[in-house]
Amino acid sequence: MGKISRRSFIKGSLAAAGALSVSAAPLPASAKGIGPGELATMLDIGKCIGCGACVEACRDSNAHKFPEPDKPFPKMYPPRVKTADWSDKRDIDDRLTPYNWLFIQYADVEIDGEQTTITVPRRCMHCTNPPCADLCPFGAARKLKNGITRIHPDICLGGAKCKLVCPWDIPERQTGVGPYLQVLPNFAGNGVMFKCDRCYDLIEQGELPACIEACPEDVQTIGPRDEIIAAAYARAKEINGYVYGDKENGGTNTIYVSPVPFDVLNEALEKGPGMPHMAPVPDSMANADTLAKAMILAPIAGLAAGFIKFTGGAKPSSQSNKEES
C-alpha cells in the first residue's frame, strides 16, 4: 500500500459521530475517500535514527495540554496513595511522564553479524479494545471511532486504574490537577492521568500528528488499519523482518516493523518505570467476566459527569485543554 506522506495528508473532516474522513494519495481504490473506521500507524523502526525530532514535536504541539498543578497538594487520608509530581522535572525526555508522551528507546542488537543500535519511538499503543477505556470507572478514558484512545482530564480523578490494566503501564499521573480538587480532595482521587492522545485535535482538522509531521526519515505511516496491517507485513517480508502490535492485547493501532525479532529487541531494551516492554501480550479483554465488569462500570461515567457538573463544573486546574468528548 502507498503511505500517507506529510504533504499528501489532505484536509479532512469529522462526521457527527466522530469518525474521521480523509483523502490521501497514493492509496488503493479501496482506501480512497474512506468512511468511518480506525486509523493506525506503522513504525518502521529500521528507518529510525533516534534524532528525537518526534519527541520535541510532540512536546511542542501538546504543551497546551500539559498539567499546571496547584501546590501544596491536599493531604490524602489515608496516605496510602502517594503523590506523583513531575512539574519540576518537565525536561525529562528519556521515559514517559505527564509532560513527555513520546520517547526513544535504545536496543543494542546484532544484525547480519554486526552490532547495531536500534532506536524505537514509544508511546501509547492505542489498543483496538483498550482495557483503560473499558475499565475506567468514571469513563475518563474513551476510545474514539477513529481508533484513538484519550483520557479526558476534566473527568479523570487520577485513580490510575488505566495504568493498572494497561499491559504496557503507559499512563502517568500528575497530582494537584483535575476535578478531584473540587470533589473530596483529601479522600478521593489524586490528580489526572496523562498519555499520548495521537494529536486528536490535529487529526480532527485533517492534519498529521506532530510526531509524523516532524520525522525526517518517514519512519511512521498513518492510514486505515487494514491497509496499515497489510503494509506492515509487506514491509516485514521485504526486509525479512517482524511485526508487533497487530495481535498484542487483541490488536493495537500502533504497528511496529523491526529487522530483528521482538523477543531479541525486548531483551535488549532498557525497561522500567515509564519505559514499556515489547514482550508478547495476550488479549486482556478476552475474558467474558472482564467484559461483563466493563459493561457494569460503564454507566458510572454518566453519574460521574453529572456529579462533577452538579458540584460546579470542575475544570482541570490552570489548564487550557477544555475539550469535547
DSSP per-residue string spanning 55-120: HHHHHHHHGGGS----SSPPPPSSTTS-----TT-TT--SS-BTTB--EEEEEEEEETTEEEEEEE
- C-alpha torsion 197→88→106→43, nearest 10: 10
Domain parsing of the chain, residue ranges: 9-310
Q: Are 9 and 210 in contact (CB under 8 A)?
A: no
Q: Which of 193, 194, 179 is nearest to 74 (CA)?
A: 179
Find residue 194's DSSP bridge partners.
172
Tens-level pLDDT at each residue, the chain (325 residues): 444 444 343 233 223 223 333 323 232 323 333 345 899 999 999 999 999 999 999 999 999 999 999 999 998 887 777 899 999 999 999 999 999 999 999 999 998 889 999 999 999 999 999 999 999 988 999 999 999 999 999 999 998 999 999 999 999 999 999 999 998 898 878 999 999 999 999 999 999 999 999 999 999 999 999 999 999 999 999 999 999 999 999 999 999 999 999 999 999 999 999 999 999 999 998 874 554 454 455 444 444 544 554 455 444 433 333 333 3
User: Cα–Cα distance between 42 and 244 in angstroms, integer?
Assistant: 10
DSSP letter, residue 196? -
Question: How many separate helices (H) and strands (E) can be counted in the chain?
Answer: 9, 12
CA distances from 183 to 74, 222, 228, 303, 325 (A): 12, 40, 43, 14, 21
CA distances from 147 to 19, 67, 189, 203, 238 (A): 9, 24, 28, 11, 27
Q: In the prediction, which pLDDT does 290 show?
A: 54
Q: In the prediction, which pLDDT does 76 show?
A: 85
Q: In the prediction, which pLDDT does 6 show?
A: 43
CATH of domain 9-310: 3.30.70.20
> Torsions phi, psi of 30, nearest 5?
-65, -20
Q: First vs last Cα of the chain: how many Å apart? A: 32
Helices (H), 120-224: 131-135, 161-165, 200-204, 210-214
Q: In the prediction, which pLDDT does 27 show?
A: 29
Q: In the prediction, which pLDDT does 80 show?
A: 72
Q: In the prediction, which pLDDT does 58 show?
A: 98
Q: In the prediction, which pLDDT does 82 show?
A: 82
